[in-house]
Amino acid sequence: MKTHICTMSRWFSTIFIALFFLIPVKNYSQGLGCWNSFNLAYDKGKKWSFASEVQLRSLQFYKNYNYHEYKGIIGYKLIPNLQTSLVIGRYTTFGTGKTFQTPKLAEEFRVAVQLGLKNSIGKVQVDHRYRFEKRYYTSGNRGIRFRYRVGLSIPLDEKKLTSLSASNEFLIAINSGSSIIRYDKNRINIGLTRKITNTVSMQLGYLNQYDSKSADEPGNNFFVYSLFLNISNVSSNRSHHAEN
């Protein structure tokens, strides 16, 4: 009986995800961009962690690609719920006429220090992310940006295989060589995450972005697809088999 209920729960989650996201995509795909990401993570013991992420964005539904980024992240847990990270990456924005249209609007190298705090209120997990980033443009310009994101995650089943999440991120830019502070962007994200295996997870969602119309990262509405691969479990399994 319990197995039957779990099977029904998985089918319900799959159908719910399809209806929740495919209907809006069908109706609004003409004015909806795509925000695709692939994340590879590895946790080395209880303290250190390593991750890499690739993003590809478009201004229309899977066409007119205008942005890509790739970055690496090194994390260290100060205490179980508090982690500090170093983020290094390359970010490129192209023109808006067609896929990867040149000349580029912006190309930059970023170095960021990040602090992540997690806590729980009942079944709801709350996370706070503070990021201070230095931006080096190939044009010679420099910039500083402070980012704060607060997020909520609620499991939808007993095994916590499917969860509903929402987040709001505020980005404040400081122009290099001046005291001008600009409210650069605001990003609101709602999504469903499904744990497929111990290694693979997938997220589908919607992101709305307020943009101050700076030269980088344009676009307001995005369909979000993210794929997460945590190879820590793969490494653990291999070690376990080797010992046997």
Residue range 2-243 in CATH 3.40.50.2000: no
pLDDT at 213: 65
Q: Among the listed ranges 10-19, 38-47, 163-172, 197-206, which one has the minimum average pLDDT value?
A: 10-19
Decide if pLDDT at 85 tops 50: yes
C-alpha closest to that of 224 among 196, 187, 172: 187
3-state secondary structure of 214: coil
Amino acid at residue number 106: A
Instruction: Give the predicted TM-score (pTM) of the model.
Output: 0.81
Confidence of residue 242 (pLDDT cuts 50, 70, 90): very low
pLDDT at 103: 87
pLDDT at 240: 39
Confidence of residue 181 (pLDDT cuts 50, 70, 90): confident
Report DSSP letters for 72-105, one per residue. EEEEEEEETTEEEEEEEEEEEEEESSSTTEEEEE
pLDDT at 117: 97
pLDDT at 243: 43
232, 236, 237, 239 alpha-carbon torsion, rounded to 10°: 140
pLDDT at 219: 74
Inter-residue contact 209 to 186 (CB < 8 Å): yes
Decide if pLDDT at 25 tops 50: no
Q: Specify the residue for token string 């023109």.
A: 95
pLDDT at 215: 57
Domain boundaries defined on the chain: 2-243
How large a percentage of the chain has pLDDT more than 90?
60
pLDDT at 139: 87
Question: What's the mean pLDDT in 159-183?
Answer: 85
At 104-122, the pLDDT tens digits run 888 999 999 999 999 999 9
Question: What's the mean pLDDT in 146-166?
Answer: 95
Q: How close are the terminal C-alpha atoms of the chain, in Å? A: 35
Across-strand partners of 153?
125, 165
At 26-49, the pLDDT tens digits run 444 457 999 999 999 998 778 999
Torsions phi, psi of 116, nearest 5?
A: -120, 130
How far apart, in whole angstroms, are the C-alpha atoms of residue 170 and residue 92? 21
Q: Chain-wide mean pLDDT for the chain?
A: 84
Between 109 and 11, the higher pLDDT residue: 109
Decide if pLDDT at 15 tops 90: no
Cβ count near 194 (within 10 Å): 17
Inter-residue contact 171 to 143 (CB < 8 Å): no
